[in-house]
Chains A and B, each alone.
Chain A
Amino acid sequence: MGSNLIGRAFESFKRIGEGLRTVLMHSFREPITKTYPDTVSQIAPHFRGRLALSVNPDTGEHLCISCRQCERVCPDKCIEITAHKSPETNKLELIDFKIDHGLCMFCGLCTEVCPTTCIINTNDFEMADYTRESLVYDLRRLTLTQEESAFYFEAKDMPKPKPKPPKPAPGAAPAAGAAPAGAKAAPVGAKAAPAEGAKPAAAAADAAKPAESAKPAAAPAEAAKPAAAPLEATKPAEDAKPAEAAAKPQDSSTEPAKTVGDTTAKPEEKPTASPEVKEAEKEKAPEQGADADKKEG
């Protein structure tokens, strides 16, 4: 009995020692966690993140044909499409496209049914915001730039869309004109995109929500007001002539493209850029965005 007890005690010590050794040996392994905002891990191309509307990567045309398939299939009813028949071409024309990301469950069904692969899940998952309203993304914030679209078309192995038949809506003309400018402004960003992997979408998100992303700089209390601004800004657009309205999103989509080039190019040069530098970049981006906003307004 006594020897049994001692034997058991030794056995216990051995077991505990073994456990302690195993845990201690773990301290010589490489850590598995990352310093998140500094290093973002590679995200799979099919990751179902924030929704976005892609454009034709070659011509910059908006791919949505307002067929409302996505609106119908969405189990949460979080897509709201405003479209009308253009009086001139007798074709459906997109006026506004709203997705409530606070309601969306990122099931990806809308992307599966879209006939033109317009609506896609991006790799962006950093959508935290201060108000629920600012989670409702409108057409301007949803639309991707050409470079980003090209990136996703390649990453997701999607067939490149054919350009729309000639005879575009009158509104599309300025858009087509503006596109090359955007393409020129952002080649650096386009190069940086594959290298950065997950980042372009995030950067685009920063750039594409000018007023909202002012919030890190602005006092949180004020955040609600600027957040509401773009919604108001787009309302008059809805009332305005449809042709103009259709052109606007494309115009503005090229504006952020420049800032995308800025924001992504810098981290490329300095991969170990300190958070302060990034902060400065972020502050700059919304300013430019805000300028663009004013011009539009």
Chain B
Amino acid sequence: MVSDTTSRPLKTDEMIINMGPQHPATHGVLRMVLTLDGEIVTHAEAVIGHLHRAQEWQGQNRTWFQYQALIDRVDYLSGMFTSWALARSAEVLDGCEVPERAEFLRVIVSEMNRITSHLLWLGTYLIDLGAMFGFPFYPFREREKLLDLFEEIAGQRMMFNYIRIGGVQRDPKPDWFTRLRAFTKEFPDRVDEYEAIVTENPIFLKRTKGIGILPLELAMDYGVTGPSLRASGNNLDLRKTKPYSIYPKLEFKVHTLDKPEGGDTWDRYILRIRELRESTEIIKQCLDMIPEGPIMNKKQIAGMRVKAGEGFSAVESPRGTLGCYIISDGSDKPFRFRWRNPSFCNLAVVGEMLVGSPIADIMAIFGSVDVILPDVDR
């Protein structure tokens, strides 16, 4: 009898846990269905769609002019990039030239936006890791300064509606450039401070090194783009690989980490930190090179039309390749819209990355990929 019970393996069951949609750390409304063996995740599935707002359908039912104002909401942390993707696709269709000053302004504001997006990620990621009371305020402080600048040119802090089809909306005052220049001067010091607190912190290293490894093949299979892909060793960055706008004129480096076994969460962190510095450099160059001239080449009127045809363009957003595909029938409304959102693909791979890690690492891994839920659901 006794030997019988001991020889029989202990009956264990897998446990299914729902993480989210109401959980303090799931960055919005994501629901994750986790199958757990003890504390180890054996299967993870992201249930999306809680934030679906029919952005594509809305585009087909609004005029061009109206929809320009709506698309900042697709990815609310990098509204400049969504605007830019739309504007570029429409310009491809329309064949309208963008004035040079407008291109420079676009690069400046979108690199600023990349900085704000990465800064917000940095703060919230540290919250995910438990540094809840001190550090997260510092990135937000710098972000606030950039948002003030955005507010001055675009009118709002997150929903910019600044990059328009054919140019940009408003020419900043000289004072604005001075302030931006001052910011770029002091910002690298601030990044040094972040690094002093975080980068080599032993607890941070323990929480991130070797966690959530994303092999390059897996990343390519899932179509992961952006810093997450570059941390795994691929140097896909549309600014360099498929240059657009004035990026060919600028000198900058695309940071990649050469990791044969795939990047871990720490690599993704350090890559974003390097991008922060790189973007600052780009802004500095643009501020030196920006020419005078007009900023808008298309009349912004309510009945704005775009020539008929199909157009696609992609920009490198803070989260990866952001593509916009449009069919226009020549009327004042787009005929068909299609967004290619980086977060959607990046989230898909998280399920694979989670397998085999303990529950406590879920947030460390999920956070490191930098997924914005509205960008996933649209």
Contacts and interface: CB of A to CB of B under 8 A. Distances in A.
Tell whether any CB of A sits under 8 Å from a CB of B in the complex: yes
Interface of A: 11-12, 15-16, 18-19, 22-23, 26, 32, 43-44, 46-48, 69, 72-73, 75, 105-109, 112-113, 121
A47 B153 CA distance: 9
A40 B152 CA distance: 16
A11 B201 CA distance: 10
Nearest to A32: B141
B274 to A, nearest CB: 19
B38 interface: no
A112 B201 CA distance: 50
Interface in B139-158: 141, 144, 148, 151-156
Contacts, number: 69
A112 B200 contact: no
B2 interface: no
B301 interface: yes
27 contacts: A11-B202, A12-B202, A16-B202, A18-B200, A19-B198, A22-B193, A22-B196, A22-B197, A23-B134, A23-B197, A44-B148, A44-B151, A46-B151, A46-B154, A47-B151, A48-B155, A72-B302, A73-B66, A75-B69, A105-B69, A107-B70, A107-B159, A108-B69, A109-B65, A109-B66, A113-B301, A113-B302
A16 B201 CA distance: 6
A15 B155 CA distance: 42
B137 to A, nearest CB: 9
Interface size class of B (residues with CB under 8 A): 20 to 34
Contacts of B52: none
Given A16-B201, A107-B161, A47 B70 contact: no
Given A19-B196, A46-B154, A75-B62, 9 more contacts: A15-B201, A16-B202, A18-B196, A23-B197, A48-B156, A73-B66, A73-B302, A105-B159, A108-B155
Contact of B302 (A23, A47, A69, A105): A69
Q: Which 6 A-B pairs have the closest CB atoms?
A: A12-B202, A107-B69, A44-B152, A48-B155, A75-B66, A19-B197
B170 interface: yes
B65 A121 contact: no
Contacts of A121: 155
Residue from A16, A72, A75, A112 whose CB has the most chain B CB atoms within 10 Å: A75
A106 B66 contact: no
Interface in B194-211: 196-198, 200-202
A46 B170 contact: yes
A197 B39 CA distance: 57
B66 A112 contact: no
B165 to A, nearest CB: 14
B300 interface: yes
Contacts of A26: 138
Interface in B33-65: 62-63, 65
Contacts of B144: 32
Interface in B178-224: 193, 196-198, 200-202
A18 B195 CA distance: 10
Contacts of A32: 141, 144
Given A69-B302, A73-B65, A47 B155 contact: yes
Contacts of A19: 196-198, 201
Given A23-B197, A107-B161, A46 B302 contact: no
Nearest to A73: B302
A15 B200 contact: yes
A75 B201 contact: no
A75 B63 CA distance: 9
Nearest to A18: B196
Nearest to A157: B173
A46 B161 contact: no
A72 B301 CA distance: 12
Contacts of B156: 47-48, 106
Contacts of B198: 19
A113 B302 CA distance: 7
Nearest to A107: B69
Given A23-B134, A73-B302, A44 B196 contact: no
A250 B300 CA distance: 32
A26 B156 CA distance: 29
A190 to B, nearest CB: 24
Contacts of A108: 69, 155, 161
A23 B201 CA distance: 13
Residue from B66, B134, B154, B156 whose CB has the most chain A CB atoms within 10 Å: B156
Given A15-B200, A69-B302, A44 B66 contact: no
A19 B192 CA distance: 11
